[in-house]
Amino acid sequence: MMFQPDRAPRILTEEQEETVHETAMRILEEIGTDVKHDDARRLLAEAGMNVEDERVYWDRGFVMEQIAKAPSAFRLRARNPDRSLTVGMGGDPDAVPVWMNVGGPPFASDLDEGRRSGRIQDHDTFIKLTQATDVLNCAQTGAAEATDLQMEVRHMDMEYSTIRYSDKPYTTYGTSGPRARDGIRMAEIVHGGREAIEAEPALMGIVNPNSPLIWDFRMTDALIAWAEAKQPIVVTPFLLAGATSAVSVSGGLTQQVAEALSGVALAQLVREGVPCLYGSFFTVTDMRTGSPAFGTPESVWGILAGAQLARRYGLPFRGGGGLASSPAVDAQAAAETQMMLWATNLAATDVVLHAAGWLEGGLTASFEKFALDVELLRQFQVQAQGIGFSEEEIAFDALKETGPGGLFLSSPHTRAHFKEWLYMSPLFQTPDFATWETMGSETTEVAANRAWKQLLETYEDPGLDAAIDEELRAYMARRRDAPDLFVED
């Protein structure tokens, strides 16, 4: 079967993999990382690391010992237990790839209203679409930034949006310690207290070091919050070759290992056994514009090599996604996205943030792109099932009956099976040209506009227990009245 860890291309030779590892260890030991969080530095010093001012020189024996404490697979609970997931295909045969909507864009876009600053209503709609499609099995908070709400507190509104409109598991917003703690507290309310979510985690948090080689206060503080609550942490160096890492793929990979493993090691030091993912977000800087370029050969290599390295370290892998640089839902966007999705699936990526809806280098959450990506993801799901080899599908008798020169189009065998066996894309059509022209020469973008609206019409509100809802709202109200709690460093 394709898209399984044991079928993933090993893009690095053993020698190259060893070189990456050895160089990463040298980076940690000889260059070190800055850790701009007093408690974290204290913990690391107590564990025997050499700490000079803010610089921590990591001992490779310690790092490897720590990362070995992270599980290779874990359960992620949803408020609808049927939607809970096992994460980590390298560690558990029941695990599945986790696919989520886009997260992070400050802008939202659709053909009707165009590109605008993200609003909470856009966030709600993306979460409803994520809930409505069976292709995505997880939601990501921050689908579009709710810029119409007050910055200091809107992370809670977006978290509420995710919790309220979807009963799938989710990734929390958490871009700082206080925000991470709000997300944890809200999950506690939903799932019946701290003990419940510690027993089986209820959210995933993302930390990005400030590359190169800085663990800043905010992200370290968030990492500590999630580790303490035993919620899975996706440690993802955000590497743009030529900007936040050296202008080469092997240079990016060595830095990625150093940053990812130091983050995982710290998390394990805070709380042994907290699930951690090896995260890869790697591509190159387009030196003509200074912007990241997605879908390039380097980004394909980054995903494949990242997955190989994650498995070396026994960690579930987060990487890839439906990433594209194009500002429009055009051929470039689809081409870039397919480069990414093929690599993502070939690598048997465990957790895929931004699987649907990412446009314009991540600046825009596009509803039409969401519909396009859902279609592409569905095709990969079908591909993963592999070729059917039942007697009826092998079809010797059907061929014998049809015979040389016969027609299968109207044969009983075809009529009996085509609906079940053929994949016919709802989005991609094969009209004859005259019909297509008469109907207005519609491009995919226009068809996708119809597709996401149709999907939205199928949305069914999963509801939310009234007492929980009230408690969530009360918590948010209290927090909105205590702005000093948001002082972060």
Residue 257 beta carbon to a second copy: minimum distance, rounded to whole angstroms:
12
List 204's β-bridge partners, or say none.
171
The residue (of 335 and 474) whose beta carbon lies closer to a second copy is 335
Minimum distance, C-beta of residue 471 to a second copy, in the bound complex (Å): 41
Please, which of residues 301-320 interact with a second copy by CB under 8 A?
A: 301, 305
**Minimum CB distance to a second copy smaller for 56 or for 70:** 56
Q: Which is nearer to a second copy, 84 or 285 (CB)?
A: 285
- Stretch in the footprint of a second copy (CB under 8 A) among 118-126, 185-193, 200-208, 428-436: 428-436
User: Is residue 147 a contact point for a second copy (CB under 8 A)?
Assistant: no
Q: In 271-324, where does DSSP find H-type helix? A: 297-312
Q: Work out which of 76, 266, 333, 351 binds a second copy, going by CB under 8 A.
A: 333
**Rounded distance between C-alpha atoms, residue 27 and residue 18, angstroms:** 14
- Distance between CA atoms of residues 179 and 173, nearest Å: 7
> Which of 33, 66, 125, 161 touches a second copy (CB under 8 A)?
33
For position 414 contacting a second copy by CB under 8 A, the verdict is: yes
Span interacting with a second copy, options 77-85, 87-95, 331-339, 460-468, rule CB under 8 A: 331-339
Q: Min. distance of Cβ 380 from a second copy in angstroms?
A: 8
Under the criterion CB under 8 A, does residue 430 sit at the interface with a second copy?
yes
Please report how many Cα atoms fall inside a 13 Å half-sphere around the Cα of residue 230, on the Cβ side.
18
Tell me the C-alpha distance between 326 and 337, whole Å.
10
Residues 229-268 interacting with a second copy (rule: CB under 8 A): 241-251, 253-255
Instruction: Quote the CA–CA distance of 257 and 465 in Å, as a whole number.
Output: 43
Does residue 47 belong to the site contacting a second copy (CB under 8 A)? no
- Given a contact cutoff of 8 angstroms between Cβ atoms, the answer to whether 189 and 468 are in contact is yes
Nearest residue to 202 (alpha-carbon basis) of 165, 230, 166: 230
Q: Which is nearer to a second copy, 162 or 337 (CB)?
A: 337
Q: State yes or no: residue 407 binds a second copy (CB under 8 A).
A: yes
Element (H, E) at 417: helix 412-421
Name the residue with tokens 């200091």.
152
Query: Which C-beta is closer to a second copy: that of 188 or that of 259?
Result: 259
Instruction: Using alpha carbons only, give the angle 49, 53, 55 rounded to the nearest 5 degrees.
Output: 55
Cβ atoms of residues 374 and 329 within 8 Å: no
Listed residue (269, 275, 263, 281) closest to 223, CA to CA: 263
Task: Write down the least CB distance from residue 430 to a second copy, Å.
Answer: 4
Q: Quick check: 361 binds a second copy (CB under 8 A)? A: yes
Q: Assess 466 for contact with a second copy (CB under 8 A).
A: no
According to DSSP, residue 138 is labeled B
Q: What are the distances in angstroms from CA 240 to CA 25, 249, 257, 292?
A: 21, 10, 14, 7
Smaller CB separation from a second copy, 93 or 404: 404
Number of residues counted as binding a second copy (CB under 8 A) = 125
Nearer to a second copy, 45 or 416 (CB): 416
62 closest CA partner among 28, 17, 27: 28
Considering only the stretches 79-87, 200-208, 310-318, 332-340, report the one whose residues sit in contact with a second copy under the rule CB under 8 A.
332-340
DSSP collapsed to 3 states, 242-278: CCCECCCHHHHHHHHHHHHHHHHHHHHHHCCCCCEEE
For 400, other C-beta atoms within 10 Å of its C-beta total 9
Q: Among 84, 117, 147, 402, which residue sits at the site for a second copy (rule: CB under 8 A)?
A: 402
* Closest separation in Å from C-beta 117 to a second copy: 12
Residues in region 120-139 near a second copy by CB under 8 A: none
Over the window 205 to 234, marking each residue x when it contacts a second copy by CB under 8 A and - when it does not, the resulting string is -----x-xxx--------------------
Query: Is residue 484 at the binding interface for a second copy, with CB under 8 A as the rule?
Result: no
Q: Least Å distance between CB 193 and a second copy?
A: 39
Binding status of residue 394 toward a second copy by CB under 8 A: yes
Work out how close the CB of 333 gets to a second copy at its nearest, in angstroms, rounded to a whole number.
6
The yes or no reply on residue 439 touching a second copy (CB under 8 A) is: no
Question: Site for a second copy (CB under 8 A): which residue of 95, 127, 158, 329?
Answer: 329
| Nearest to a second copy of 435, 466 (CB atom) | 435
Q: Is residue 474 a contact residue for a second copy (CB under 8 A)?
A: no
- Per CB under 8 A, 289 contacts a second copy: yes
Residue 482 binding a second copy, by CB under 8 A = no
Q: Which of 353, 217, 175, 206 is nearest to 277 (CA)?
A: 206
Cα separations in angstroms, 248 against 272, 288, 300, 302, 342: 34, 17, 13, 10, 22
Number of H helices, E strands in the chain: 18, 21
Distance CA 398, CA 400 (A): 5
| Nearest to 358, CA basis, from 378, 384, 343, 340 | 340
